[in-house]
Structure 1
Amino acid sequence: MATRGEIIDNKYEIFREIGRGGMSVVYLAMDKRLNKQWAVKEIRKLANDAKNTVVIQSLLAEANLMKRLDHPALPRIVDIIDNGKTIYVVMDYIEGESLDKILKVNGAQSQEVVIDWAKQLCAALLYLHSQNPPIIYRDMKPANIMLKPEGGLKLIDFGIAREYKIQNTSDTVNLGTKGYAAPEQFGKMGQTDARTDIYGLGVTLYHLVTGQDPCEPPYEILPIRQWNPALSSGLEAIIQKCTQINPDDRYQSCDELMYALEHYAKMDNVYRKAQKKKLASFVATASITVTSLVLGVLFNVMSVNENKKNYTKMISISTSTNYTEKVNVYCEAIKLYPYRTEAYIKLLDAYSDNGTFNEEQSKQIMSYYNDAFSVNNESEYDKTGLDVAKLNYELGITYFYLYDEEKSSMKARTLKAEPFFAHIVENAPNTYENKALANSYYSICEFYKEYVANNRNTKEPNKETYVNLLNSLKVCIDDIDQYDYPDILYIKLTVYEAITDLLHNQRRSLCVTGIEYKQLETFITEVYSRAEKIVVTQEKSNNKKSYILEHKKEYLDDIENVYLKEGQE
């Protein structure tokens, strides 16, 4: 086993063990050159051990399969190291909690949250199934799904995924987790295909929305409203169709399932009864137009289905696609469905992956956002929806950390970010996982807006204002560690510089309003400590770090002197 501090392949320093199972151990490690955290899976080779050989073959097959894939919901494999005695697979370190742990702690999840997760998982499966040949995941279950801090999902454990072979009539190995696995994974019903994953997703949604483990009594997938009558009959119908015994009776593709998920409310009994009533009235008064109406509806439905498929394909393009093409495709997707949020978030990801977010890019995305999500269009979207909250959070974070116009000042970035965090604070439901984080960022933005950028403001900040600011700044410097922008080290230094400058400028007000010297000194010292630990080689980053540390003694002395003068140290 690897030990703390051990260096693997002269690159990866082992921090601690974060998981183990079977014959493998997973560690958290730091890339010494990139200053980035990775997960490292270790398995030792054992001579004359048939089971060990099978596990190693499975691990290598999983790693080689994953190396070809590039999707935000799938972990990346970045390195495979074989030193003769041990194999190490280096992959993305995924922060967050698995959905099975969330179920154990919190029980059944809200219907709206589960629908959002279902769409994310469906998009990931669609990407896998669109490979040539298609890749069948075969092990969908809450334990294999990680919820990241920002709300996105990641599928993990591709140990039993396989490529679909057209000539095969059945799988050679029966694998999967009983309770979640489709019947064809254990019987003689033929080879697993895309419909197998649809079954597993259906069972997973059942578990998430009801809290009932399919591996426990009554060992069957009952209609979800038998557990909770308040749940949607539309969602119930979707889950029932996903989990049919015969694959031919399920949704035949993730495209079909995605369309159903996006229209689950229209499958509700109440909605259907209302529509039937309207239709009956219409037929009675305008029967002469029935033929043309039916044809029109038919063509419209065909067009809508085609648009849905195109949209899903657009937002599922490989992240290895060049930047310009990605931006163009995501913009076209936004034009196709301006009230859907996925393409906006993909566009923001493209900007951040490219390492820039300037005024031109800001104008590009905001032209679409303002057209769709203005006050005048509130009838077209749900401003309290989780998808809208997630979009506003991503916009706020992008402006807060990446906006690089107007000399990249913290003031400029916070003023740009403030409206998006404000929208979350005012409208997002309490079930939105990042609402508390958004509130902290909003507090920082509001402080800059009221007391830094507003020269005409005569209102003075009080102790409560500063306590809230310090708490929010602490959340900010902790939260930034999860981001992996191309120039994240420079961004961190920029934030540290802004914080130390702000607290230095506000030192007298902090003192006279009653903020204790020890509290302020401890926090600003921590910020300096974080800056000192960052290892950089680029001139721009070096200059930024030098500026921060050159002012350290001056700023700390100035703060101490103010408190001494006021007699409050």
Structure 2
Amino acid sequence: MLTLDTILNQRYQLKEKLSQYAGRKTWKAIDLQTSPTEEVIIKLLAVNSNVSWEAIKLFEREAQVIKTLEHERIPHYRDYFTLDKKEESDLTWLVTVQDYIPGISLKQWLDKNRQMTDKQVCRIASEILEILIYLHELNPPIIHRDIKPSNLILGEDGHIYLVDFGAVQDKTRQEGVTFTIVGSNGYAPPEQLWGQAIPASDLYALGATLLQLLTRKNPSDLLHNNRLQFSHEIELSPNLTAWLDQLINPIPEKRIQSSRQAYEQLQLILKVNSQKEQKPENYFLKKLMISSLLLFSTGLLYLTYQKYLIPQKVVHFLPMEMKRILRSQHKYLTLRRRIPTDLETMERTLKLYERHFNSSNGDYAKTPFSDHFAYDYHQIDNFTIITYGLPKKTNPWTPAVIGIFHFHGLEYNSNKVICITNDPVAKIEDIPLPVMTVRNEKRYFSCPKGTKKYK
């Protein structure tokens, strides 16, 4: 009898039953051989007369496949063993063990009546496609065959994880050979229901999943005339609508053929849509003219500030470089769902997303980023504090340019506090962090002691 705190294989202690149906059980447990103990997921399949031979083959295939996979967003394989009748159970069980991913499934997200924006869905799609690129480009390719919201975990770190490889196909399709018909109603494309899954079958299931996230309707409710119809449910940009329509084309030959192609098309769509959302160029020209007039009218104060606190070159580039940094940070967050944690990565980020950047001083633009900036990264609760330093020349570092990113789950926002250090500091680490205060459940940031706000 499998009960709470039962220890399996002298190693795994059961802690919480997650599901049970048709001779299958899933438990959350702890691995007693790790220090400190780590949480794992244990899946069990009963071996008795009520379980088909095909179910046993699929269970064993899942264990064989996940053992070979090495991807940061696929739960890591730990163990596979048989639990005999006399070992804490009245049945014989097949058992697989994988790492536990803290978070919630996208199905649970939908069940809580949460509405997702098209931008959130596109970020999810990008992460799923990154996993599918890995699986489909293996030799032979791995076809998941059961992509749906319940098999996609939104981790506490904000990343999407693909789980449940129980329907996986681990060999290339051959003409005249049929495979077990697996998949979920509404998500599986026609060719998979005929027993002939191909990599593009996973793309169809991905498209159906994205539509459910956007409409909060099961794909089977969107099926009309043998095709998923969604244009009457949601309003999306024309290029995103066309991309989704290609993913869910019921004819395999007319569907996007590879996960890499789908990913590249999506990134292009996001780039084009982002450019359309930006304000017209004349807006920035007007804003620049107004700012120039204001700056000129306060010239005396500016010159006094320049003389005693910071050289002209640094003041000139501070606002421009701050915009450059935040623009690159946002782009990096949108595409990669993480923040650069060191100067080297930050420099690569700027080179990647700001290739055409050029300042009024050509030599300055050609200078390596690390030669005229310092960069540091801190984590405080759910807030990521990015600290930058501009040098007077080379050292000491001053002022402190501090960016604050709130990054939690699928949501992130940012604000910046630009503070001038009262006294030069020798190291970027010496720049004090901004002060965070909470008022009416909202967080506010202000310049720390020893600095003053730059305006």
Normalising by the smaller structure, the TM-score range is: 0.5 to 0.7
| CA–CA distance in structure 1, aligned partners of residues 203 and 388 of structure 2 | 39
In structure 2, the gaps of 5 or more residues are: 85-91, 277-329, 360-374, 390-399, 418-428, 444-455
Aligned to 2:42: 40
Alpha-carbon spacing, 1:243–1:8, altered in 2? closer, same or farther (3 Å): same
Q: Does the alignment pair 1:227 with 2:207?
A: no
Q: Is the 8 A contact 1:150 1:434 kept in 2?
A: no
Q: Which amino acid aligns with 1:39?
A: I
| CA–CA distance in structure 1, aligned partners of residues 339 and 432 of structure 2 | 37
The structure in which a higher percent of residues are strand is 2
Aligned to 2:411: 433
| CA–CA distance in structure 2, aligned partners of residues 378 and 213 of structure 1 | 49
Q: Does the alignment pair 1:365 with 2:345?
A: yes
Alpha-carbon spacing, 1:82–1:122, altered in 2? closer, same or farther (3 Å): same
Q: Deviations over 1:474-525 (max 9, x none)?
A: xxxxxxxxxxxxxxxxxxxxxxxxxxxxxxxxxxxxxxxxxxxxxxxxxxxx
Aligned to 2:404: 423
Aligned to 2:206: 201
Q: Is the 8 A contact 1:198 1:254 kept in 2?
A: yes
Aligned to 2:20: 20
Q: Is the 8 A contact 2:199 2:258 kept in 1?
A: yes
Where 2:219 maps in the other structure, the secondary structure is: coil
| CA–CA distance in structure 1, aligned partners of residues 167 and 243 of structure 2 | 26
TM-score between both structures, scaled by the size of structure 1: 0.51
Q: Deviations over 1:51-108 (max 9, x none)?
A: 2543333212111111100112212211112133322211111221111221222254
| CA–CA distance in structure 1, aligned partners of residues 118 and 208 of structure 2 | 15
Aligned to 1:245: 250
Q: Which amino acid aligns with 2:145?
A: R
Q: Which amino acid aligns with 1:216?
A: D
How is 1:84-483 mapped onto 2 (pairs within 5 angstroms)?
Answer: 84=84, 85-187=92-194, 191-216=196-221, 219=224, 221=227, 224-229=230-235, 231-265=236-270, 340=332, 362-369=342-349, 399-400=378-379, 422-425=403-406, 432-433=410-411
What's the C-alpha RMSD, in Å, of the aligned pairs? Answer: 4.4
Give 1:259 deviation, angstroms.
1.4
In structure 1, the gaps of 5 or more residues are: 272-337, 349-356, 380-394, 402-412, 443-452, 472-569
Give 1:233 deviation, angstroms.
1.4
Give 1:253 deviation, angstroms.
0.8
Q: Deviations over 1:231-275 (max 9, x none)?
A: 21111101111111211101111121111111225777x97xxxx
Q: Which amino acid aligns with 1:77?
A: Y
Alpha-carbon spacing, 1:87–1:373, altered in 2? closer, same or farther (3 Å): same
Give 1:129 deviation, angstroms.
0.8
Q: Deviations over 1:346-403 (max 9, x none)?
A: 897xxxxxxxx8xxxx3422332455679x9699xxxxxxxxxxxxxxx99x7449xx
Give 1:13 deviation, angstroms.
1.6
Where 1:161 maps in the other structure, the secondary structure is: coil
Give 1:113 deviation, angstroms.
0.5
Give 1:223 deviation, angstroms.
5.0
Q: Is the 8 A contact 1:171 1:192 kept in 2?
A: no
| CA–CA distance in structure 1, aligned partners of residues 8 and 401 of structure 2 | 43
Alpha-carbon spacing, 1:129–1:455, altered in 2? closer, same or farther (3 Å): closer
Alpha-carbon spacing, 1:178–1:378, altered in 2? closer, same or farther (3 Å): farther
| CA–CA distance in structure 2, aligned partners of residues 456 and 431 of structure 1 | 27
| CA–CA distance in structure 2, aligned partners of residues 255 and 221 of structure 1 | 24
| CA–CA distance in structure 2, aligned partners of residues 147 and 423 of structure 1 | 23
| CA–CA distance in structure 2, aligned partners of residues 465 and 226 of structure 1 | 43
Q: Which amino acid aligns with 1:199?
A: Y
Q: Which amino acid aligns with 2:204?
A: Y
Alpha-carbon spacing, 1:421–1:65, altered in 2? closer, same or farther (3 Å): farther
Alpha-carbon spacing, 1:378–1:250, altered in 2? closer, same or farther (3 Å): farther
Q: Is the 8 A contact 1:203 1:221 kept in 2?
A: no
Q: Is the 8 A contact 1:11 1:33 kept in 2?
A: yes
Q: Is the 8 A contact 1:23 1:55 kept in 2?
A: no
| CA–CA distance in structure 2, aligned partners of residues 266 and 343 of structure 1 | 10
Q: Is the 8 A contact 1:214 1:221 kept in 2?
A: no
Give 1:416 deviation, angstroms.
5.5
Give 1:186 deviation, angstroms.
1.8
Alpha-carbon spacing, 1:236–1:30, altered in 2? closer, same or farther (3 Å): same
Give 1:118 deviation, angstroms.
0.5
Q: Which amino acid aligns with 2:348?
A: Y
Give 1:134 deviation, angstroms.
0.8
Give 1:342 deviation, angstroms.
8.4
| CA–CA distance in structure 2, aligned partners of residues 415 and 110 of structure 1 | 27
| CA–CA distance in structure 2, aligned partners of residues 142 and 421 of structure 1 | 38
Alpha-carbon spacing, 1:215–1:222, altered in 2? closer, same or farther (3 Å): closer
Alpha-carbon spacing, 1:415–1:22, altered in 2? closer, same or farther (3 Å): same
Using the aligned pairs only, state the percent identity: 23
The structure in which a higher percent of residues are helix is 1
| CA–CA distance in structure 1, aligned partners of residues 432 and 222 of structure 2 | 67
